[in-house]
Homo-oligomer: A and B are copies of this chain.
Amino acid sequence: MSSQKIDRRVKYTKMVLRQSLLELMKSSPIEKITVKNICELADINRGTFYSHYSNPRALLEQIENDLFNDLKATLDRYLTDADLTSGSYEMIIEIIKCIEMNSDICKIILGEHGDHDYLKRIVNLAYEKFRESWIVNMRVRDDKLTEYFFNFISSGSIGVIQLWIQSGMVDPPEILASMIDKINSQGLKMFFDNKNENVTETLLKRENKCYNQAD
């Protein structure tokens, strides 16, 4: 209803501004891109830019949020409880396929000059669900060690996905997914069996020591 009444001129302006920013981001980071740069490439008056966005970063955030919502919607369709308790395999595949489908934008946004924390946002979107599910269903402890462990897994996954993107997205997603999934499940076994109590105890002792220290 309401979204149909958008003026064609506005639609066009926003479109070329987006395209131009993405084009510029292929060769330089967002910090070095000026409003003037974007407008010259888009052949849009500089004043017109300011009537839509306050600065280049705001424009980028618009693009990122739109893509993020797309990915989120697709993920939500696949993230059932069954998948969560069985393993991360399906989900990793799904995330990677989402990225593959939007490869033109993703190569830029998640690439060399892209936002370093953006992929983190996407992957953590998934891992937060995982974490909750595991803590409830598998009676995993919700302590500092667990936090470190989840951080390791998600950071590792992000790194691998980034490498995959940087090498042109040609390798099959199954390879990444199977590797991440194996480290996931192996890691879980490794960290939350009864042989590791001592590690947590050491952690707690050190913490108490810190609290008790003077100054």
Contacts and interface: CB of A to CB of B under 8 A. Distances in A.
Nearest to A31: B31
Interface residues of A, number: 41
B187 A148 contact: no
Contacts of A151: 159-160, 163
A20 to B, nearest CB: 20
A190 B190 CA distance: 12
A80 to B, nearest CB: 26
Interface in A101-154: 116, 144-145, 147-149, 151-154
A159 B127 CA distance: 14
A187 B160 CA distance: 14
Contact of A172 (B171, B172, B203): B203
A126 to B, nearest CB: 15
Instruction: Name the residue in A155, A158, A210 with the highest tally of chain B Cβ atoms < 10 Å from its Cβ.
Output: A155
Interface string A184-209: 00110011000000010011001100
A190 B183 CA distance: 8
A175 B145 contact: yes
A157 to B, nearest CB: 7
Contacts of A186: 186-187, 190
A11 B38 CA distance: 42
A206 to B, nearest CB: 4
11 contacts: A148-B164, A148-B176, A151-B160, A153-B156, A155-B162, A171-B207, A175-B199, A175-B202, A175-B206, A182-B190, A186-B190
